[in-house]
Chain A
Amino acid sequence: MTETQAPSPAKALLLLPVLVLLGLFFASVFQLFSHGFADADGWSLRYFRQILHRSDYQVIFARTILSSLTVALVSVALSYPIALLLWRLERWRNTLLIVVLVPWLVSLVVRTYGWLVLLGPKGVINGMLAWTGIIQQPLALMFNDLGIVIGLTHVLIPFAVISILSSLLAIESNLEEASGVLGASRFQTFRRIVLPLSLPGAFTALIVIFLASIGAIVTPIVLGGMSHQFVGSQIYQEVMYTFNLNKAAAWSICLLAISFLSLLLLKAIERRLIGPLE
C-alpha cells in the first residue's frame, strides 16, 4: 500500500535527524584526517613518521594490542562458566544477570579508582597477603600492564557474559536430551554440542572486547600510570597536555587502522575456526 506512494515532504522531514547525525560523523572523520596528515605549517606526514618510528611509541602499540588481546581472552575465559551457570539456573537467570550488570551502574572512573584501593602497594590485597605472611614485599599489582588488564577485564566482562549467554540460549531446548538418548555422557554432550554451538557468541565477545579495550583511555591512565601508556591515553595526553591536535589525530588514525585490521583478522580466524553455522 504505502510502497507505491511517493514520499511526502512530511515524511522526508523524518530523515533529517539521520542526515544530521551522518553529516556530523563524516565531518568529524574529515576533520580527523585533515588534522592527522598535517602539522602547524600545512600538509605533512611528519607525525606519522614520528609515531611509527619512535621505539617508545612502538612499545605503546605493542602494549595496547597485547594487553587488549589478554583482556579479551581472560574476559571470555572467565565469562564462559558464568554464562553457563546463568544458562543452567533458569529460575535465577534474571536476578544473576542484574548482579553481572551492576558494575555498569557505577561510573567508570569511580570503579577504576576502586581498583586503586584494592591493588595499591598498601591496598587491600597487598595488605591481606602481607598480614597472612604470604609475602614480605608488596606485589606490583598496578602502574603496570597487570593493573590495566585487571581493570579493563572488570569493565568489559559483562559484554562477554551477555554475548555467550545469548548464544547458549539460542541452542534448541532438547538438543542435550537428544544427545543423551543417542548415548552421550553429560561431558560429551557439552564438548560436542553445547560448546561448539556457543563458540560464535564467545568469539563475538572476543572481538567486541578487544575493540573496546584497544581504545581504552581512563583505565590505562589510572591503573597504568605515566609509565604504562595505551594508545588511547597517549592521545588524551597529546590533546590535554601538549595541545598537539595534529599529532593526536595521527595517533587516532593509527588506532583506527589497527582496529580495522584486527577486526578483519579476527573475522578471518572466526570463519576458519567455526565455519558458517547457517
Chain B
Amino acid sequence: MSPAQPEALAQAAPSRAARGSIHVTSVAKTYDATTVLSGLDLAVEAGTFVTLLGPSGCGKTTLLRLIAGFIQPSAGKIAIDGRDMAGLPPQRRPIGMVFQNLALFPHFSVEENVAYGLRLRNVPEPELRRKVGSFLDLVGLGHLGGRRISQLSGGQKQRVALARSLVLEPSILLLDEPLSALDLQLRKQLQVALKEIQRELSTTFVFVTHDQEEATLMSDRIVVMSAGAIQQYDTPPAIYSQAANLFVAKFVGELNEIPGRIAATTAGTVEIDGPGGRHALPASGLRGYSPAPGAPCVIGLRPERIAILPPDADAGGSIVLPGTVIERIALGPVLRFVLRCGEQRLVAVRLASDGAALPEAGAACRIAFDPADAQIFEPLAAPAAASFGEKP
C-alpha cells in the first residue's frame, strides 16, 4: 500500500514564498444541537505566524482541527493556497501538526521519529539522512538523534515534534497548545525558538493558545475567539490598543474598567457621566459601540496610560481625578500602583526610573489620563460576562 502522496506539497514546491495562505469562509461547526463555531471568516496570508487565542471552549481547537481536516465543517469552506480542502483527510492537505501531547512514537529513536514521514514517502536514504540531520540541527537537537524518546526532557520532546512535522516542509504548521505542559522558563525559551524557526522557514504557523502573553510575544497576527466566533483579527499592538470590544480588551492585557453612562454624543465627542462628574471623550475612542444617550458604557484604560501626579501638579489637557495610593509595588523595571478614586479601584504602571517623583502608599494624589487614551466599550451582558463573553 503506497502512502497518500500530498501532491499539494510537490506542486507548490517551486513558489515556496507564496505557500501557506488560508481562507476560511463562513465556516460553521455543529455537533447535534450544540454550535461550536458559527459563521467564521478568516484570511491568513502566507508566511504569517497567526495565533488562535481564547478561553477554553471558545472553539479555537475546533477551528484548528477543521483546518487540519480531522473534522469537516458543517457549513462553509476552507481553502489552503486557493485550493478547496472540502472532504480531504489530513494526509492529503499540505499541513503539519504538533499535538498538545506531542504524540511522539515511543518505540522509535529521535531520528526515526523525524524520518517517519519521509520513509512513508519513500525518500531515498541519503536524502532522508541529510534532511533529518538538517532539521534536527534547525531545532537544536543535532547531537541527540540516536536517543530514545523516553530519554528526552520536555523541551527536547517539543523540538522533536516540531522537526518531525517541519521535515516534510508543509505549507502550514498547526500547533495545538504544544507549550502548555512546560514550566514557565522553558516555555519562554521555546516561544523564542519557535518564532525564530518560523521566521527562518517562512512557513505559515497557526498556533493555538489560551495564554495572551504567549500570543502577543510570538504572533504576527492574533485571532481572538470567544463563544465560537472571531472577536478580532489583528496585529498584537492593534489588539492591545484598539480592542474591538470589551471582551477582547479584558482578555489581552490588563484593563481598568470604569463604569459610566452616556450623557450626550456630538460629532467627534462623547460626554460620559462617570466618577468625578461629566467627561468629554473623543468619539474615536468608541470601540464598535454606537450608544444612545442614557446607555451604559465602560471606559477602558490601560494601566500604563494612567499618570499619577502630586496634588499640586499641572495636568495639561488631561482628565484629572482625585485619589489615594493604596499600594506601590516594585516589579523590576516598572512600579505597579493600586489607586482608589472614590469607589473605583484602578491599576497604574509607571517606569521604576521615574519612581522618585511618584507618591508612596497612603499618599493622596491626582489620577490623570489623556482623553485620547480612553476606550469606550459596550458593557458585557451579565450572564455572558460570567461565562467569559458571549456576543449578543
Shortest A127–chain B CB gap in Å is: 44
By a CB distance below 8 angstroms, the chain A residues around B165 are 181-182
Assess whether A41 is interfacial by the CB under 8 Å rule.
Answer: no
Evaluate whether A183 and B121 lie within 8 angstroms (CB atoms) in the complex, with A188-B1, A197-B106, A277-B107 already known. Answer: yes
A172 touches B1 (CB 8 A): no
B103 touches A183 (CB 8 A): no
Assess whether A34 is interfacial by the CB under 8 Å rule.
Answer: no
The total number of A-B Cβ pairs within 8 Å is 68
B80-113 interface with A by 8 A CB criterion: 89-91, 95-97, 99, 101, 103-107
Evaluate whether A177 and B120 lie within 8 angstroms (CB atoms) in the complex, with A185-B4, A193-B105 already known. Answer: no
User: Using a Cβ–Cβ cut-off of 8 Å, how many residues does chain B contribute to the interface with A?
Assistant: 28
Q: B103 contacts which of A174, A187, A197 (Cβ < 8 Å)?
A: A174
> Max chain B CB contacts within 10 Å: which of A175, A181, A185?
A181
**Could you tell me the dominant secondary structure of chain A's interface residues?**
helix
Q: A177 contacts which of B1, B70, B116, B117 (Cβ < 8 Å)?
A: B70
A91 and B277 CA atoms in complex are apart in Å by 63
Q: Which residue of A lies closest to B9 (CB)?
A: A183
Evaluate whether A181 and B96 lie within 8 angstroms (CB atoms) in the complex, with A174-B101, A175-B105 already known. Answer: yes
Shortest A170–chain B CB gap in Å is: 10
Assess whether A166 is interfacial by the CB under 8 Å rule.
Answer: no
User: Which range contains the number of A residues in contact with the other chain?
Assistant: 20 to 34
Q: Which residue of A lies closest to B95 (CB)?
A: A181
A178 and B168 CA atoms in complex are apart in Å by 13
Evaluate whether A185 and B116 lie within 8 angstroms (CB atoms) in the complex, with A180-B89, A277-B106 already known. Answer: no
A215 and B313 CA atoms in complex are apart in Å by 97
Q: B3 contacts which of A178, A183, A193, A278 (Cβ < 8 Å)?
A: A183
A175 and B105 CA atoms in complex are apart in Å by 7
A177 and B120 CA atoms in complex are apart in Å by 15
Assess whether B284 is interfacial by the CB under 8 Å rule.
Answer: no
Evaluate whether A178 and B99 lie within 8 angstroms (CB atoms) in the complex, with A183-B6, A185-B1, A188-B120 already known. Answer: yes
B96 touches A172 (CB 8 A): no
Q: CB within 8 Å of B: which residues of A? A: 172-175, 177-185, 187-188, 192-193, 196-197, 277-278
Identify the 10 closest CB pairs spanning chains A and B, nearest first: A178-B103, A182-B117, A183-B120, A181-B90, A174-B103, A181-B97, A183-B3, A183-B91, A187-B1, A196-B107
